[in-house]
């Protein structure tokens, strides 16, 4: 059992309706987020962690999302940014995390939950927050900037492109996730973002009067940006396939007029185009067996050219 210090009791009582005694409360600490690149190729700047420290004060944490009622909530009453001098991030920064202390009022119904936290079973923490900027780690431009051609998760030279999240606008909630910790020891973060599946489902099934929160809108905007990116990638991929098909077609079947053939190809899906390219390429390879790039004849002609310089 974790004991509560007098100082902590004072701090947490700033958030309660009536002063609570140390017997009534359960206090525990969590790591909300850090400056390491996460699974979505994003990381918080250290400055962002400092701002988030203020924003998370007084914010409620929930357990497994559906247990909001019945004493299954905890509240953050203290936050601080902590550096682990023994650890360096993949970006060479000192490993820095946003830590928090939270309290729960002990009740009959949350007894087993408290035991789980004490026993370290509930480890993974997910945080929801709104960030003002997301900069590309390669060129420093906003990821919405059309001039940035880098894609998070792709390596350029020896640099992994990721987004640096900055300028926090708001912190919403934090929660323990019911999945076993996927990363190292301790409470780790999973920044809540990505596919807003629930919101999309609501939009699909809505008749009238659909209401979306600012957070929902932000996630949908992000999702739209990602979809646009996918669409552009798909277009580029198709264009490349068609270009290859045209090239192989001219080589393999020079008697065929390419334009009407390619016109028909434009209606095909990517999979059919891929298989068409494959069979045309096979045809070309049979006609023109691959030969080494450095041919003996080339050397000969080089030598002949060099003769011009001989006296």
> Residue 134 interacts with Zn ion (CB under 5 A)?
no
Minimum distance, C-beta of residue 91 to Zn ion, in the bound complex (Å):
16
Q: CA–CA separation, 166 vs 177, rounded Å?
A: 24
Minimum distance, C-beta of residue 141 to Zn ion, in the bound complex (Å):
5
Q: CA–CA separation, 236 vs 240, rounded Å?
A: 6
The interface mask with Zn ion, positions 145-184, x = CB under 5 A, is ---x-x----------------------------------
> Residue 136 interacts with Zn ion (CB under 5 A)?
yes
Task: Select the residue interacting with Zn ion from 62, 81, 105, 139 (CB under 5 A).
Answer: 139
Smaller CB separation from Zn ion, 134 or 200: 134
H or E element: which one contains 220? helix 214-252
Minimum distance, C-beta of residue 196 to Zn ion, in the bound complex (Å):
25
- The Cα-based distances of 108 to 111, 115, 177 in angstroms read 6, 12, 22
Minimum distance, C-beta of residue 6 to Zn ion, in the bound complex (Å):
51
Q: By CB under 5 A, which span of 37-45, 144-152, 181-189, 249-257 interacts with Zn ion?
A: 144-152
Q: CA–CA separation, 233 vs 237, rounded Å?
A: 6
Smaller CB separation from Zn ion, 150 or 238: 150
Smaller CB separation from Zn ion, 122 or 162: 162
Residues 37, 145, 214, 175, Cα dihedral to 10°: 0
> Are the CB atoms for 283 and 249 separated by under 8 Å?
no
Smaller CB separation from Zn ion, 102 or 136: 136
Q: Which residues, at least 6 apart from 176, have a Cβ–Cβ distance to it below 8 Å? A: 61, 62, 63, 64, 117, 122, 123, 124, 125, 126
Residues in contact with Zn ion by the rule CB under 5 A:
136, 138-139, 148, 150
């Amino acid at each position: 059992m974790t004991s509560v210090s007098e100082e902590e009791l004072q701090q947490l009582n700033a958030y309660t309706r009536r002063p609570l005694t140390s017997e009534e409360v359960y206090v525990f600490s969590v790591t909300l987020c850090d400056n390491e690149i996460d699974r979505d190729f994003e990381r918080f700047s250290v400055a962002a962690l400092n701002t988030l420290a203020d924003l998370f004060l007084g914010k409620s944490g929930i357990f497994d999302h559906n247990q909001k009622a019945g004493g299954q909530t905890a509240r953050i009453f203290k936050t601080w940014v902590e550096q682990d001098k023994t650890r360096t991030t993949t970006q060479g920064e000192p490993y820095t995390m946003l830590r928090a202390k939270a309290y729960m009022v002990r009740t009959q119904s949350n007894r087993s939950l408290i035991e789980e936290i004490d026993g370290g079973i509930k480890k993974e923490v997910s945080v929801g927050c709104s960030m003002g900027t997301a900069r590309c780690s390669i060129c420093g431009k906003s990821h919405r900037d059309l001039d940035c051609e880098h894609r998070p998760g792709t390596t350029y030279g020896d640099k992994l492109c990721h987004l640096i999240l900055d300028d926090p606008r708001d912190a919403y909630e934090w929660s323990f996730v019911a999945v076993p910790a996927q990363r190292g020891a301790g409470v780790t973060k999973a920044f809540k973002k990505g596919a807003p599946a629930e919101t999309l489902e609501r939009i699909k099934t809505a008749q009238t009067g659909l209401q979306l929160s600012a957070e929902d809108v932000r996630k949908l905007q992000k999702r739209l940006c990602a979809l646009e990116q996918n669409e552009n990638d798909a277009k580029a991929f198709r264009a490349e396939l068609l270009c290859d098909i045209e090239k192989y077609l001219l080589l393999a079947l020079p008697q065929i007029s390419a334009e009407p053939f390619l016109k028909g190809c434009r209606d095909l899906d990517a999979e059919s185009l891929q298989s068409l390219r494959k069979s045309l390429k096979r045809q070309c390879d049979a006609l023109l067996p691959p030969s080494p790039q450095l041919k003996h004849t080339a050397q000969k002609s080089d030598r002949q050219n060099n003769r011009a310089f001989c006296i």
